[in-house]
Amino acid sequence: MLTAMSATGVITRIVKRNGNIVAYNRERITNAILKAILSTGPADRALAESMTEKVEAALTQAYTGDMIPSVEDIQDIVERVLLDHDQTKIAQNYIAYRRQRAILRATRAYSFEITDNIPYKKIYEVLVWNMAHRCESVESLNHIIDTGLLPGLIGAAEQRYINEVDLAAKAIVARAAELRLIIIAGPSSSGKTTTTIKVGEALQSVGHRLKALNIDNYFFDLEKHPRDEFGDYDYEAPQSLDLDLINQHLGQLLAGQTVKTPFYNFKTGKRTLDVQEMTLARNEVLLLDSLHGLYDDMTRAVPATSKYRLYVETLGQLRAADGTFMRWADNRLLRRMIRDKNHRNLQPMETLTHWHYVRRSELKHIIPFIGHADFVLNTALPYELPILKAQLWNYIPDAIERFRNDPNRQDAYVRAMRVHDLLAPIREVKNHACVPADSLLREFIGGSCYNY
């Protein structure tokens, strides 16, 4: 098994932006800090190495056992260590340098649809849309709220999402003669379930018969998943699902046979086998909504030519006052904190501390396969953060205080601080009556006309 630590407790491996696991290189951290120091004054190699040692100490506390930090995780900790040790100017230069590197990567890749597992053209389109609707920054979003224009933005954003769903449906119809399985995949809380429903509605409106297979019902019992030292279960990997049974049922369904699908109770963590009979007629196409839908072993029983793979992600483009953009994963974390509280018997603090499992699995089992997708759909709604804040803000300061001095929870502390800094300047919107009942956001905040 690959681990992040050597026998002496030193980080040995990291996860790159493309999901690959590579050897850890201490010198990269030192050189990056040294460049930030040079932007402030004379070179101070001793200071750079001293800060690197402190970063490594924080990493070894935060990432234990088989937990492997990503490049972004390490950079977050570098920022926090510099600030915690009163190196404010160096931290500011480091943040600016990090931002410049991100812009450079994006500039080099704009001519490609997907590079380094990031759909740059797509996020550029999102940014242009946001700028056209004057919701590309926290300041402009607050202005929309203050001037009573939020209902108009909500309507426009909902229509943009529906337009994308319709485009995906038209692409599917164009291949209808050969397709037997439509996969809607994407990371946690990206809105796969609602998108599955919407795509189904769009296809049914033009005469295509569909039937959905709920992959969540194929989870193994929670007690069968590995647990960490805190008692938390890791159920984010594709192997948490009964892949053999999934493929058995897929093969049988596409052959016209009847299967009995299981049922998984998220509140009890138990699966019951042979619950619901299901048959796929010759003129029906199977819909599959799954985190790991692009993972080859998930649907190995179905020929590639018979699959259509739609990838959904919160490709939001919201800029803070300092020029940094909201992270897509943080957007999804906020959604999941609310959903878990409302539907999965988990408190927001538990979701926050579990999130490192989510991100590790995304980097290893989801993001590397984006290039396999036939269509990429943006599910971020530019108006959602003020509404999410109203439901979650009270939990964030508590999380910061609880984990600030806990060496084993520094990943949760860094994440809570980042979410705090993102949400702090955004106006809260407590009344969300103007959000349509069929909105994707209702999947998380409740009040949907759909049965989840």
Judge if 71 and 146 occupy the same domain.
Answer: no
d(CA 87, CA 95) in angstroms, rounded, equals: 12
Dihedral of the alpha carbons of 373, 380, 400, 88, in degrees to the nearest 10: 90
Judge if 26 and 55 occupy the same domain.
Answer: yes
116 Cβ neighbours under 8 A, 6+ residues apart: 17, 18, 105, 109
Question: What six digits make up the tokens of 91?
Answer: 């931290």
Judge if 339 and 366 occupy the same domain.
Answer: yes
264-271, long-range: CB within 8 Å, 24+ apart, which pairs? 264/216, 264/217, 264/218, 264/219, 266/216, 266/343, 266/344, 266/345, 267/344, 267/345, 269/221, 269/222, 269/223, 269/233, 270/221, 270/222, 271/217, 271/218, 271/219, 271/220, 271/221
Radius of gyration of the chain (CA): 23
- Residue 3 is predicted with a pLDDT of 45
pLDDT in tens, the chain (452 residues): 344 444 445 788 888 876 678 899 999 999 999 989 988 788 899 999 999 999 999 988 888 777 888 888 899 899 999 999 999 999 988 888 887 676 555 444 333 355 556 788 888 889 989 999 999 999 999 999 999 999 999 999 999 999 999 999 999 988 888 899 999 999 999 999 999 999 999 998 988 888 989 898 999 998 887 676 666 777 778 888 999 999 999 999 999 999 999 999 988 889 999 999 999 988 889 999 888 999 989 999 999 999 999 999 999 999 988 888 999 999 999 999 999 988 877 889 999 998 988 888 888 888 888 888 999 999 999 999 999 999 999 999 999 999 999 888 898 999 999 999 999 999 999 999 999 999 999 999 999 999 87
- Residue 303 is predicted with a pLDDT of 93
Q: How many CB atoms lie within 10 A of CB 165?
A: 23
**Domain C-terminal end among 108, 132, 148:** 108
**End-to-end Cα distance, the chain:** 37
Judge if 50 and 193 occupy the same domain.
Answer: no
Judge if 86 and 178 occupy the same domain.
Answer: no
HSE value, Cβ hemisphere, 13 Å, CA-based, for 284: 16
How many domains, the chain?
2
Q: Which residues of 263-288 are buried (b: 16+ CB within 10 A; e: fewer)?
A: ebeeeebebeeeeeebebeeeebbbb
For the question of whether the overall pTM of this predicted structure is more than 0.75, the answer is no
- Residue 111 is predicted with a pLDDT of 35
Q: What angle do CA 169, 292, 271 make, to 5 degrees?
A: 110
49 Cβ neighbours under 8 A, 6+ residues apart: 30
Range of the domain at 402: 110-452
H helix intervals, 236-374: 243-254, 328-343, 348-361
- Residue 139 is predicted with a pLDDT of 95
Q: How many CB atoms lie within 10 A of CB 257?
A: 12
Contact 127, 377 (CB under 8 A): no
CATH of the domain at 120: 3.40.50.300
Judge if 260 and 397 occupy the same domain.
Answer: yes
**Element holding 79 (H helix, E strand):** helix 71-84
- Residue 40 is predicted with a pLDDT of 78
Judge if 2 and 151 occupy the same domain.
Answer: no
Match 């979650």 to its residue by tokens.
Answer: 392
- Residue 342 is predicted with a pLDDT of 85
Judge if 300 and 444 occupy the same domain.
Answer: yes
**Element holding 285 (H helix, E strand):** strand 284-290
**Domain C-terminal end among 79, 108, 137:** 108
- Residue 107 is predicted with a pLDDT of 42
Judge if 246 and 300 occupy the same domain.
Answer: yes
**Domain C-terminal end among 48, 77, 108:** 108
Judge if 104 and 134 occupy the same domain.
Answer: no
- DSSP one-letter string for 166-221: HHHHHHHHHTTTT-SEEEEE-STTSSHHHHHHHHHHHHHTTT-EEEEEEGGGGBPP
Question: What six digits make up the tokens of 446?
Answer: 């409740």
Judge if 114 and 104 occupy the same domain.
Answer: no
Judge if 97 and 118 occupy the same domain.
Answer: no
